[in-house]
Chain A
């Protein structure tokens, strides 16, 4: 009986493993496609867009292996142009059998991308906005959460509930009046509309931090108060160090949100010197829609920092998703 159950379990896990492996492949395919397309020559993208391994055509010519580009067939022979080495540019007529396929990584997509796309400037613009947003959000949210969780005063519950209710309001409702407000302040085409609001708290993260601060024993705060510590001191010396894991979650999610933000930079940043990576990549796609290699290269370059950040902070990240219920 027991061995029967074990056999049944073995079957079950084997099927589950097979299903997971297949699903993993499906989920991976877009990443593999992005990487391999970014390294393919335009010819290879045209001729074999699903080949995961970037390849090119090669030919032995005067004892050297040179890359060629097949142009057309002529009387059973292939006209091909040499694309590398000292004979670059020369056109030959060869037997089709002489040309063979080989692995070839074409880094020119990246070179072209970086030339056409002012990556470093957009990166800098994005990092400035991300950095200030993280600073503003962490600072303001932890101060407010302290005021809501660790200071007893009448009205804090009411304020908390008002804050929760405002989370229901979709951004589209406030979008237009805020645009007018920032226009009247002369803030259009500056980073201020993207950054200043982060210094005035974020309902979602205040909620998260308040839950965390309520788990800090009141006796600890009481003792600090009796020792003569002011509230600001208690916040800085006790609460901040204690809540490091929660603050890390807030910082991480804020960083990723503002790195990925699309709508706000689209509304407020009008000049291509001010663009973030999101907006820059959108404009790049508008201009080079048919040039797949550089597009994939730039998408990859934009995603890579976030993917690396995710791998470095995976534990915190997954913890944050479980706590807040939404991804970054």
Chain B
């Protein structure tokens, strides 16, 4: 006679599937189905009020020759390439300072982290005024330092300074990374530093050859998450500049949103979404491949 063991995998699969039903339904309805449809739409001409009509790769061809598309790619690339590494450096700097076993660690950690919980819309409204060229906090401070009026940046009103302005604003939120780096630094065994010190390593070398390698997995993780987040930057541009001046803050997501919901060109916007997906995948894979040489996994 055959015995069914109560824990046999085959016996229990209906239970497992039943518990996972929300996930299975969610993946089917809100991921698999829309991803498939998006690919299909990207091959269609789809003005929202009439049904989609297949046009092959014409959307992608049009993208290749659309100067505003390339401008949005450049703007996004500029923002991500500067904001993410700079945010990591400042976050790491804060973490290293806090790791010196100074008084009031909890206080500083809370304070540096606080900006990251401020609702994005509220911080956009706030920074819109902080960056105001006439009365904003930053230019008033620069004026106080004695900078002549002609040198004061126009920030969000200037084609040159609009992206640096948003990068500056993003630095205010570097506390999220700081918390992670600090936690990782605190996990580095003290003996490693002592051993290095005995070998005559100075502070810089201890940082370069002990601390950084030990926290490199966390650095890689924040780099990838930061890049994925930066590439999708939207609300700041939508609320503060609406892409201007002269399209200098027309980021990829903003262009995609406008194409879909103000021009109602859903097929073209879907093609943009797919190009973005491929670019994010390539960037992630590229970073992972590069990281093999720098990241040290200790287990």
Residue positions of A touching B, CB distance < 8 A: 12-13, 16-17, 19-20, 23-24, 27-31, 33-34, 37, 45-46, 49-50, 140, 143-144, 146-148, 151-156, 159, 162-163, 166, 168-181, 197, 199-201, 206, 222, 225, 231, 235, 256, 259-260, 262-263, 266-267, 277-278, 281-282, 285, 292, 295-296, 298-300, 302-303, 306-307, 310-311, 314, 318, 321-322, 325-328
Name the contact of B269 in the complex, choosing from A46, A162, A176, A267 (C-beta under 8 A): A176
Which residues does chain B contribute within 8 Å of A206, judged by CB atoms? 23
17 intermolecular pairs with C-beta atoms under 8 Å apart: A16-B102, A17-B103, A20-B98, A24-B111, A30-B126, A147-B16, A154-B10, A168-B281, A178-B30, A200-B22, A222-B7, A277-B119, A278-B121, A292-B129, A300-B122, A325-B221, A326-B176
Which residues does chain B contribute within 8 Å of A24, judged by CB atoms? 108, 111-112
Name the contact of A151 in the complex, choosing from B12, B239, B257 (C-beta under 8 A): B12
- In the complex, whether B189 has a CB less than 8 A from a CB of chain A is no
Residue positions of B touching A, CB distance < 8 A: 6-7, 9-10, 12-13, 15-20, 22-27, 29-31, 33-35, 37-38, 41, 94, 97-98, 100-104, 108-130, 135-137, 140-141, 144, 172, 175-176, 179-180, 183, 218, 221-222, 225, 228, 231-232, 234-235, 238-239, 253, 256-257, 260-261, 266, 269-270, 272-274, 276-277, 280-281, 284
A159 touches B269 (CB 8 A): no
Secondary structure type dominating chain A contacts? helix
B16 touches A327 (CB 8 A): no
Q: Taking CB as reference atom, which chain A residue is nearest B103?
A: A17
* Ranked 4 nearest A-B pairs via Cβ: A147-B19, A200-B26, A153-B16, A177-B34
A278–B222 alpha-carbon span in the complex (Å): 27
A263–B218 alpha-carbon span in the complex (Å): 29
Known: A29-B137, A310-B117. A200 touches B269 (CB 8 A): no
Which of A172, A201, A266, A282 counts the most chain B CB atoms within 10 A? A172
A311–B118 alpha-carbon span in the complex (Å): 12
Which residues does chain B contribute within 8 Å of A200, judged by CB atoms? 22-23, 25-26, 29-30
**Cβ distance B198 to chain A, nearest Cβ, rounded Å:** 14
**Cβ distance B124 to chain A, nearest Cβ, rounded Å:** 8
Known: A12-B100, A163-B23. A260 touches B121 (CB 8 A): yes
Which of B115, B117, B144, B270 counts the most chain A CB atoms within 10 A? B117
Which of B37, B100, B125, B235 counts the most chain A CB atoms within 10 A? B125
Which of B22, B25, B141, B225 counts the most chain A CB atoms within 10 A? B22
Q: Taking CB as reference atom, which chain B residue is nearest A139?
A: B22
Which residues does chain A contribute within 8 Å of B273, judged by CB atoms? 170, 172-173, 175-176
A302 touches B122 (CB 8 A): yes
B26 touches A201 (CB 8 A): yes
Which residues does chain B contribute within 8 Å of A197, judged by CB atoms? 26, 30
Which residues does chain A contribute within 8 Å of B180, judged by CB atoms? 321-322, 325
Q: Taking CB as reference atom, which chain B residue is nearest A266?
A: B238
A328–B124 alpha-carbon span in the complex (Å): 17
Q: Taking CB as reference atom, which chain B residue is nearest A29?
A: B137
A281 touches B108 (CB 8 A): no
A23 touches B183 (CB 8 A): no
